[in-house]
Amino acid sequence: MTQKKGIAILGSTGSIGTQALEVLESYPDHFDLQVITAGKNADLLITQAIKHQPNSVVITDESQYLYVKEALKNQDIHVYAGAEALCQVVESSEVHVVLTALVGYAGLKPTLRAIEAKKTIALANKETLVVAGELVTKMAREHGVNIYPVDSEHSAIFQCLVGEFHNPIEKIYLTASGGPFRGWSAEQLASVTRAQALKHPNWSMGAKITIDSATLMNKGLEVIEAKWLFNLRPDQIDVIVHPQSIVHSLVQFEDGSMKAQMGLPDMKLPIQFALTYPDRLPTTFPRFNFMDYPQLTFEAPSRDVFRNLGLAYDAMDTGGTAACILNAANEVAVEAYLNDQIHFTDIARINEATLNAVQSQSTPVYEDFVRSDEEARAFARGRIK
Ligand code: NAD
Ligand code: MG
């Protein structure tokens, strides 16, 4: 038996984080849980800490530090608080792999710090690559760090590429379920409720990505994520709607051959593969049965109705910090939508207005991303009545 992998899970209380803990629990001989962290959900973090006995926990919301510290006072667990602590815990020598399962721009800094500390990255937090893909991948190359995708589509591409890394990719197809409003007109979309938008047909996920899936922003973010992960031009990345979510994505090679990765939708599989690559460990996950899916169907996404997908391509064309600006606008707009401040169709409107108004910085360094993020957030907030 080789050495156990020390794992840090940033965002352990979320949808990906809780599923990652299930994966780790299934393979105690392979993994050693070192760190778990949460944004605000102190109670779940405490429960997880007592059950899974990590070396350290971080609650990012500093006002809850004493509460967590008190609850864990009889445990042999270090308790830290704040965003800087999040960056420090990933640097521990006991941590080998950092699973970035927190949501949004907040993932950027700890991911950069983990790369600097030469930790392998299992990347769920797609916003990090959307915001600063050029910087993140450059730093990963310089530090000899591998970034393994957790996002199901990117895991699918990665799984198709195993054994093929020397073969150029002609193009990839990212599959999209189409979300709960597939086939709807712009007029119908204008009046959708939050409850409708939060009900994804095939996946149970955190609130932000669920809304992103309904607006197709999620697929736009994933196109940008794929560009950086697989070093592709935008014209090599296509999106195809596949409502059954069985084919998780496809690669087309230069001889025209296409490879797809398939299976029932279950995030535990891509989470596990990112942690065990190049090995596959046996699971008891339910298996796909063809007779339950006599038809797998494919259709073009409706780019006129779901503007966000096109905005992602626009941001890639502009380059610089444009994708960072789009991401910031979207984080502000989605939060406002979840707080009942704007309509569903305002999300893409705010994203488009912000992308057009805020100046992208070319050849950006870290501080340029911070500034573009702030400027875009301020502009987007100004569009919320
Ligand atoms: P979630 O909202 O369920 O969980 C987010 C986690 O991050 C929680 O533990 C929360 O406490 C923590 N967090 C939130 N804001 C934070 C902040 N400012 N600072 C520190 N911690 C913070 O989200 P999720 O659905 O698990 O998604 C996590 C990431 O994985 C996202 O980037 C998402 O796009 C990506 N992803 C999720 C899924 C999925 O099935 N849920 C699939 C593919 C990719
Ligand atoms: Mg995905």
Cα separation, 269 vs 155, whole angstroms: 9
Q: Is the dihedral of CA 276, 277, 282, 287 positive or negative?
A: positive
CATH code: domain 5-149 is 3.40.50.720
Can you tell me the distance from the alpha carbon of 308 to that of 218, in angstroms, rounded to the nearest whole number? 9
pLDDT in tens, 292-343: 999 999 999 999 999 999 999 999 999 999 999 999 999 999 999 999 999 9
pLDDT band at 1 (very low <50, low <70, confident <90, very high): low
**Can you list the positions of beta strands (E) in the chain?**
5-10, 31-38, 56-59, 78-81, 97-100, 120-123, 147-149, 169-176, 237-241, 247-253, 258-262
pLDDT band for position 2 (cuts 50, 70, 90): confident
Hey, whose CA ends up nearest to atom 19 of ligand 1?
39
Residue 218 C-alpha to ligand 2 middle, in angstroms?
7
- Closest atom of ligand 1 to 38 CA is 11
Q: Is the pLDDT of residue 346 over 60?
A: yes
pLDDT band (50, 70, 90) for residue 83: very high
Strand 169-176 vs strand 247-253: parallel, antiparallel, or unpaired?
Answer: antiparallel
Distance of CA 116 to the CA centre of its chain: 20
Sign of CA dihedral 306, 107, 277, 234: positive
| Residue whose CA lies nearest to ligand 1 atom number 36 | 124
The residues that bridge with 31 in the sheet, in sequence order, are 5
Q: Which ligand is nearest to the CA of 216?
A: 2
Q: What share of the chain is helix, strand, coil (3-state, %, to 5)?
A: 50, 15, 35
pTM flag (> 0.85) = yes
Predicted pLDDT of residue 115:
98
For the chain, domain boundaries: 5-149, 154-318
For 112-171, how does the pLDDT look when each residue is reduced to its tens digit (9 = 90+)?
999 999 999 999 999 999 999 999 999 999 999 999 999 999 999 999 999 999 999 999
* Nearest listed ligand to the Cα of residue 154: 2
Strand order in the sheet with 78-81: 78-81, 56-59, 31-38, 5-10, 97-100, 120-123, 147-149
Pocket test of ligand 1: the residue of 209, 215, 219, 335 to mutate, having most ligand atoms within 8 Å of its CB, is 209
Provide the pLDDT for residue 202.
87
The residue whose CB lies within 8 Å of the most ligand 1 atoms, and thus the one to mutate among 35, 46, 80, 103, is 103
What is the percent of the chain with per-residue pLDDT over 90, rounded to a whole number? 97
Give mean pLDDT, residues 257-269: 98
Instruction: Kindly list the protein residues whose Cβ atom lies closer than 6 A to any atom of ligand 1.
Output: 11-17, 38-41, 60, 101-103, 106, 124-127, 151, 203, 205-206, 208-209, 267
How high is the pLDDT of residue 201?
86
CA of 126 to the centre of ligand 1 (A): 10
pLDDT tens digits for range 171-208: 999 999 999 999 999 999 988 999 999 998 888 899 99
Averaged over 90-103, what is the pLDDT? 97
